[in-house]
Amino acid sequence: MTALTDRMTAALKEYRAWQEPLLTDLHRHPELSMREERTRRIIAAQLAEFGYEVQQIGGGVVGVLSRGEGPTVLLRADMDGLPVQEASGLPYASVHSQQDADGTLQPTMHACGHDFHMVAALGAARLLAEHRGDWSGTFIALFQPGEETAAGAAAMVADGLIDKIPTPDAYLGQHVLTSPAAGKVAVAPGPVLSSSVSMRVRVHGAGSHGSMPHLGVDPVVLAAAIVTRIQTLVAREIAPGDFGVVTVGALHAGTSANIIPDQAELALNFRAYSEEILDHLVEGVQRMVRAECEAARSPKEPEFELFNRYPVTDNDPQLAAQVREAFIAQFGPERVEHMDPVTASEDFSTIPDAFGVPYCYWGFGGYAQGREAAPNHSPLWAPDLQPSLSTGTEAAASAAFALLGRG
Ligand SMILES: [Zn+2]
Ligand SMILES: [Zn+2]
């Protein structure tokens, strides 16, 4: 597998003077999921400037550059920020707030590093455009909205993406992470990100005075029993070698010390590396909630609502091996690590699964070795601008270049 040509690697060094102010500008102006208007405008203008055929699809932007016969390689970046009040102390910290879907003004922050993904992908797109004589085939740069709410990739598919762009032979994407260290990349075959789903549960009791519990059905005790009972799901129903997480992230009931309320609400999150295990966990919670409701004499059936389902990210082994080889050629083996599966989730695989094509998703480092790393989504998230940005750019460009045809 070939690395980038020396001319290309030299060009990437010169791009830093363009990329760094672009990143700090995007970092100052993060936008919420499915509301990435300014971001989309900037990306569309850049791609057009590089000579890409640009389309806006389902809230995202796609640039296509065709160089005749050869493989079609797609590189995906996500565009959204989060409703987080930035506390990073960075000189280019967010100054932006934005109304969410309910009309509430929210502080916004690129707390997941999607600004790095966009600028790295634009760097790769520019490099391939400016050195278009060095490769053949078709390169597609895809910028998707709404990753953080699992809405964006599905919105692009719903808007006809599959029929609007050439079918890729390889679908690539990356994420800046707290591990490996800045300057390094990490890739692996098989599952690298978990599937995930969230669930709201409402259980019913019968209200009463706090002094007369025997006249009511206490949903607080019922909810508490549910929380402890479902801890046995992963411990007793999932094989010890398999991975699963069930977390109760919210539990609400009642208003006062001396009133037994008439209902309780729980919000749960599930993670697994296979859809079968995820489904088992969801079904298991529903089964246990129903049983606890019956045990508590609950007067009404419990209600369940599933939301924010993310598919598993399960790298194609052959494509992951090709990407790894390209990274070793580009970076040297000491800068290429094995990516351990991450328990976070992504809607990355939604689009390649809709096309039915292989994909590979890898990580690149955001924090210098030994530096205390604030995790993704933290208000303190602050990856080192360099070498993180140049590593992400080089990773994206070298993987794409290696998979395209030669000149
Ligand atoms: Zn995120
Ligand atoms: Zn992210």
**What is the whole-number distance in angstroms between the Cα of residue 302 and the centre of ligand 2?**
34
Q: How far is CA 36 from each of CA 13, 58, 152, 258, 348, rounded to the nearest angstrom?
A: 29, 11, 11, 47, 17
Determine what percent of the chain is predicted with pLDDT higher than 90. Answer: 97
Report strand pairing: 185-187 vs 336-338.
Answer: parallel
pLDDT at 1: 60
- How far apart are the C-alpha atoms of 289 and 144, rounded to whole Å? 37
Ligand at shortest distance from the CA of 377 = 1
**What is the whole-number distance in angstroms between the Cα of residue 214 and the centre of ligand 1?**
46
pLDDT at 407: 73
At the topology level, CATH places domain 6-192+312-406 in Aminopeptidase (3.40.630)
Check pLDDT > 90 for residue 122.
Answer: yes
**What is the whole-number distance in angstroms between the Cα of residue 359 and the centre of ligand 1?**
19
Ligand at shortest distance from the CA of 149 = 1
Tell me the whole-structure pTM to 2 decimals: 0.89
Mean pLDDT of 13-30: 98
pLDDT tens column, 290-333: 999 999 999 999 999 999 899 999 999 999 999 999 999 999 99
Q: Which among 118, 104, 328, 299 has a CA at the least distance from the CA of 203?
A: 299
**What is the whole-number distance in angstroms between the Cα of residue 97 and the centre of ligand 2?**
19
Two structure tokens written together for 325 = 């080889």
**What is the whole-number distance in angstroms between the Cα of residue 211 and the centre of ligand 2?**
49
**What is the whole-number distance in angstroms between the Cα of residue 271 and the centre of ligand 1?**
15
* Domain covering 195-309 assigned CATH 3.40.50.300 in the classification: no
Angle of helix 385-403 relative to helix 114-130, nearest 10 degrees, comes to: 50
* Residue partners of 112: CB distance under 8 A and separation at least 6: 81, 82, 147, 148, 376, 377, 381
Calculate the average pLDDT of the chain. 97
List the chain domain ranges.
6-192+312-406, 195-309
Provide the CB-side half-sphere exposure for 315 (13 A, CA).
28
